[in-house]
Chains A and B, each alone.
Chain A
């Protein structure tokens, strides 16, 4: 079956621009997670959705970052006024059950480069 997909696979933007990154989770998965992976580092938790609501957004670095999941399926991570330090691979994962103790299925990621 289809796994988690993320679009675009690569995004190059200029400092100060706005970007949207999309995640299509596995059908039926109620939990959705966003992570950021900087070069040479492990993934860093950003936000967790249970259904349509953000159950935990404690990992978002600042108010330039925002994510939505309006219908409980597809999610969009939005970054305003991008900075060079935002350059990273953004990973999405979904899980059929809530809570990080359950297996998460990861997408291939979106590589964001801010020039």
Chain B
């Protein structure tokens, strides 16, 4: 069965610094990959998704992610973090024939002023 690992439980970065959140997946074929953000009291919001094609995917709020098949990774990046980016970030995977979306345990991002 497919699974998702987010190795970092909590990351702290300074405002204006760059950010990379790690995501590794386990699945035999090419999965469909997603990044969601969850702010306190808010629902999960889709940042970006990868289905096929260009392995560098652009999302909302200045985020991007790169699919690397050789490393089974789909890391999320942002060149300059804003205080409003502080939230919980979830990587998720879906297989084409499956209806269930598997989420990682999440990475909590703290932004220092």
**Chain A interfacial positions (CB closer than 8 Å to B):** 3-4, 33, 40-45, 48, 55-56, 58-59, 91, 93, 99-101, 103-109
Contact = CB atoms under 8 A, between A and B. Distances in A.
What is the size category of the interface that chain B forms with chain A?
20 to 34
Contacts of B99: 45, 48, 55-56, 99-100
A6 B32 CA distance: 27
Interface of B: 4, 9, 32, 36, 41-46, 49, 51, 90, 92, 94, 96, 98-106
A41 B102 CA distance: 11
State the main secondary structure of chain B at its contact with A: loop
Nearest to A45: B100
B100 A48 contact: yes
Given A100-B100, A103-B49, 12 more contacts: A3-B43, A4-B43, A42-B92, A42-B105, A45-B102, A48-B100, A59-B100, A100-B98, A101-B32, A101-B94, A104-B44, A104-B46
A100 B100 CA distance: 6
A48 B96 CA distance: 15
Contacts of A105: 43
A100 B94 contact: yes
A94 to B, nearest CB: 11
